[in-house]
Chains A and B, each alone.
Chain A
Amino acid sequence: MAFSEENLANHLGGLGYSEEQIELMDVATSFCRDKSPIDKVRKLMADERGYDAQVWQEIAELGWLGIAIPEAHGGVGLSMAEVAPIAEQMGRRLLTTPFATCTVAAQALLAAGDEVQCGEWLPRIVAGEIATLALSEPHGDWTLSHVEATAKPNGDGYALSGTKQFVAYAKDAALVIATVNVDGAVRLALIEQSAIPDGALRREIIVDETRRTYELTLDGITIPASALLDAGRSATALGQIELASALLQAAEMCGGTQSAIDYTVEYLKTRKQFGKLIGEYQALKHPITNAYVAYEKARSHMLSAAHNFGQQGVGEIAVRMAKASADKAYSFAADRAVQFHGGFGFTHDCDAGLYRRSAIWHASQFGDAAWHRAKLADLLF
C-alpha cells in the first residue's frame, strides 16, 4: 500500500530554498563550528554573561542581526527564511547568544512599531545592541496574550507593574520589549535599559546552562507614552513573535538533534562491551536509527516552515508542525543519547546532558509538541 500525501499537501506548504539561504547555511556551518567548539561552550556555561562578546560582535559584523530587517532600516532586506539556517547551525554547536531574541524583537518592532520606533531601534539592533523580549509570567501559560503585568497612566507616561520571567540576556539589553495590560488590552511596551532600576533583574537558574535569562520586576519602572507600540497591531505582533520564535527554536532544535545523534553514533562506534562495539547491538542501533529518521522529518518540516514563513495560513501550520516535530525528535534523540552513554551519560561531563537540557529548555518556551498539535487541530479540523 502506498500513500498519497498530495491531497494533504494541497492544504499545506511545499519546500523550496533561496540562493541566499544556502550561502548563509554554508557560512554559518563553518562559523559556528569554528567559534563554538564544545570546550568553549562549557567555559561559557560558567561565565556570568554566558556568551563571547567578541563572537557577538562578529555576528553583528556579518550582518546576521539584520537579515530579516528591511534595508530602509539598515538591514539586509531578506526574510526569516534566511535566518533559520543560521539558527540551525547555532543549535548544532550550542552557540547560544542573544541572536534569536534580537531577531524576534526586531520582528515585533516591524509588526507593531511606528516609523520613529523602528527608525530608532532597528539600526541599533543591526549594529549589535541587544533587544530582548519580556513575555512570560509566573502563571507559566504559553498563551502570549495571557498578560497580568500592567501599565497604568502616570503623568505623561505609564507606570508598569508585575513580573516577567525568562527575559533573555536582559542584563546586557539596551531594550526590553514587554507585554503589558493597558486598560484590558495587551500592548507591547519599549523599556530602555536606563529605566530599569538596580535590583529589578534577578538571574534565573535555568535548565539549559548555556543560556542566560532574568526575572524582571516591572514595579517602579515608568515609560513615556511614546514607548507603547501600536494597539491595533498588538495581536499581529504577538502572532509574529510566537511564530518567529518557534521557527528559530525548531531550527536550533534540529541542529541540536543532529549533534545529539552524531555524538551518540560516535560513542556506539568506539565503545566496546562483551567483546564487541555496542553499536552492533540492535537495542541501541535501531533506536538511534529511529532518532535519525525523526530528525530528518523534523528538518524537512523546519525547512518548510522557513520557506513558507509569512504565508497566510500555510505559514502558521508549517511553523507549528516544525516545532512539534522538532520537540519530538530532539527530546527522543537526547534522551537516548544519555541512556546510550551508560554511567558516563549520567555525568555532567557527557555532552548528552547538554542536549537533553537544551531540548527541555526549548520545549518549555513558546509551546511544546502537544501544545502545537492542539493549535494545529484548531487550524486543520
Chain B
Amino acid sequence: MATRPTAAELADYEAQADAWFRENTPKDPGFMLPLTFMEVSTDQQFEFLCAWQRKVYEAGYLGASWPTEYGGGGMHPDFQRIATKVMKKYDGPIMLNAIGIGWAGPLILDIGSEEEKKKYIKGMLSAEDIWCQGFSEPENGSDLGNAQLKAVRDGDEYVLNGSKIWTSLGDRAKYMILLARTSNEGPNKYAGLSFFLAPMHAPGIETRRIKKLTGEYGFVQCFFTDARIPAECLMGKEGDGWQIAMKTLEYERGAKVNLAGGYFLKELDAMGVVELARQSQRGGKALLDDPVMKDRMIDFMIDIQALNLNNQRRRMGPLVQDRPMGLALMNKLARTEMIRELTEFSLSFQGTRGGYYVDDPCAVDNGYWHRSYLNSFSATIGGGTSEIQRNIVAEHVLGLPKGR
C-alpha cells in the first residue's frame, strides 16, 4: 500500500483536482441524466455517462488507489477520497459502471487470479467494459441461494441454461458476474453454486428490456439457451459460488468499502427537502408554519443526522464495542427506508402540484421529487429487500434464530 500522504501533498492534489473538475465537469446536456446507475434508459444517456467515466479515469481521478499493474493509479486511498469529494463538489454525473468498479472490481482484486486482474480491471475503470450482475432469477430473488440457472461443464466450456432477471445494465454490459448452479448434490442448496465472470456476447444469451415503475428502462431479463462460455470464466472452484456472492453483496450493501472512487448514485440533499417545504404553502401560509408538518420535518432531520453520526461512529472502535458489526449491517436498511419515507413526504408538500409528473412544464423541480420517491424503491428492493435486511440484522447482529 502506498505511504500515507502529508497534508501538504493532499492539499496540492486537491487544488489540482479542483481545477480539473471545475474545467471538465459537464454542463447540463439538455436531456435528463440518470440519478443512479440503475436508471440508464437511453443510448444518449449511456454514451454520455461512458464518456464521462472514461474522461475521469484518464485524468487519474478514478481508480487512483488501485494497483498500477492493472490500470490503477497506485496512490494512497486518501487521494481518491479527495478526488471523489471534489467530483461531488462540482456535482458531476454519476459513474456508470457501478457493478464493475463498485463490486466486481474489488472482488477480483481481493480474490481473483492474476489473469483475471490483468484482463478485467482496466476495462471496467475506463468504462470500455460495462458489467452487470446476474444473481436474481424469476423464481428466486430474495432466496438467492436457491438460484437454478444451470451451468454444465462440457470440455473447455460451460453450457448455460436458464434465466436471470432485473439485471441492471444487462443490455449494455460486456460481462456479467453470474451465480449459477453447477450441481444439485451437496449438503444444502448453497453447495452447488458457482461464480462466473461471464461474457454477455455469447451465442445463446438474449436480453429483453423491462419498463420500470418510473416509465423508464434500466434493467432487463436475460435468457440463456445452451449458451457456451469458456471454462476459465469460473471464479475460484465449483461450489465456491455462494461464498463469493456473499462477499460481493458486502460491497454492494456498503458494509465493506474498497471502492475505486466516484459515486454511483446522486445524493439527495437534506436541506433541499427543507427548501422545498419552505417554498410550499398551506392555507395561504408557509407550510413550515404548520406545527404538524414542522414536527415531521424535524423528525426527519433527527433521523438524517443520526445516519450521518452512525457513519462517523462506525469507524470509531471504542464507540461500537457491544455489537461491532451492527452499524455496518443496518446501514442499507436505515438509509434506504429513510430516503423512501422522506421523498414520499416531499410529495405531500406540493399540494395540487403533487399531481404533475416528470417533464410537465409545471412540475415542481421538473418532477425531481416524484422521480426520487419512485426510484427510492430501487434501493429498498434491489440489493436485498428491507425485509431481508431486517432478517440479516436480526440474525447476525441480535443473534435471533433463522426462520424455517
Contacts and interface: CB of A to CB of B under 8 A. Distances in A.
Do A and B come from the same complex? yes
| Majority SS at the chain B contact face | helix
A300 B309 contact: yes
Interface stretch (A191-199, A275-283, A357-365): A275-283
A269 B311 CA distance: 30
A359 to B, nearest CB: 17
Interface stretch (B41-49, B116-124, B178-186, B326-334): B326-334
B398 A370 contact: no
Contact of B307 (A268, A281, A282, A297): A297
Given A301-B305, A325-B306, A277 B318 contact: no
B212 to A, nearest CB: 14
A280 B302 contact: no
A321 B330 CA distance: 20
B400 A9 contact: no
B1 interface: no
Interface in A268-306: 268-269, 276-277, 279-282, 285-286, 288-290, 292-293, 296-298, 300-301, 303-304
Contacts of B32: none
A7 interface: yes
B388 to A, nearest CB: 11
Contact of B304 (A8, A15, A304, A370): A8
B298 A380 contact: yes
A296 B328 CA distance: 11
Interface in B307-335: 307-313, 316, 318-319, 322, 326-327, 330, 333-335
A321 B302 contact: yes
Interface stretch (B73-81, B107-115, B196-204, B267-275): B267-275
B103 to A, nearest CB: 16
A12 B400 contact: no
Interface stretch (B11-19, B53-61, B228-236, B389-397): B389-397
A373 interface: yes
Contacts, number: 170
A344 B309 CA distance: 37
Chain A CB within 10 Å, residue with most, of B302, B318, B330, B397:
B302
Nearest to A9: B308
Nearest to B376: A1
Contacts of A5: 270, 304-305, 307-308, 311
Contacts of A304: 305, 309
B401 interface: yes
A304 B319 CA distance: 11
B163 interface: no
Interface stretch (B132-140, B243-251, B287-295): B287-295
Interface of B: 35-36, 88, 263, 265-271, 274, 288, 291, 294-295, 297-299, 301-313, 316, 318-319, 322, 326-327, 330, 333-335, 338-339, 343, 372, 375-376, 378-379, 387, 390-391, 393-394, 397-404
Across the A-B interface, the 9 shortest Cβ-Cβ residue pairs: A297-B306, A4-B267, A300-B309, A5-B308, A2-B265, A279-B400, A15-B312, A8-B270, A22-B318
16 contacts: A1-B265, A1-B267, A2-B268, A5-B307, A8-B301, A9-B308, A17-B318, A280-B404, A285-B400, A293-B330, A296-B327, A297-B309, A301-B302, A301-B306, A376-B301, A380-B298
